[in-house]
């Protein structure tokens, strides 16, 4: 098969969960929050700010990627999406598994 793909990129998902009760927090006391570099930062309604590290290191499941993207370099060495993907079937594996789970 002829293709212009030069790089294949795989995306995976990891989950970090923060249990508010572990930090003696209630959602109604929180004015704002954000998560950056895995650290939860909370601004309380009284104006104070607290930061919490993740309770555990998430393990990424590398069995199946959630997204596969193919890239090609053009003559100007700029990245572009591949025009002719190598394996279309690999992209639909996750979608098929999700449909099977919903049917059960």
Element containing residue 94 per DSSP (H, E): helix 89-103
Place of tokens 């098929």: 96
pLDDT band at residue 2 using 50, 70 and 90 as cut-offs:
very low
Between 82 and 74, where is the model more confident? 74
Helix (H, G, I), strand (E, B) or coil at 3: coil
Q: How far apart are the C-alpha atoms of 66 and 28, rounded to whole Å?
A: 34
Residue 93 has pLDDT above 70, yes or no: no
Q: How far apart are the C-alpha atoms of 38 and 93, rounded to whole Å?
A: 29
Instruction: Give just the sign of the alpha carbon dihedral 26, 31, 36, 39.
Output: negative
Helix (H, G, I), strand (E, B) or coil at 28: helix
Residue 1 has pLDDT above 60, yes or no: no
């Amino acid at each position: 098969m002829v293709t212009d793909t030069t790089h294949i990129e795989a995306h995976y998902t990891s989950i970090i969960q923060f249990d508010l009760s572990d930090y003696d927090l209630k959602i109604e006391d929180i004015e704002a929050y954000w998560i950056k570099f895995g650290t939860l930062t909370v601004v309380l309604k009284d104006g104070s700010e607290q930061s919490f590290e993740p309770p555990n290191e998430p393990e990424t499941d590398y069995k199946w990627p959630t997204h596969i993207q193919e890239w090609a370099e053009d003559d100007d060495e700029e990245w572009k999406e591949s025009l002719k993907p190598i394996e279309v079937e690999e992209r639909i594996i996750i979608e098929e598994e999700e449909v099977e789970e919903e049917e059960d």
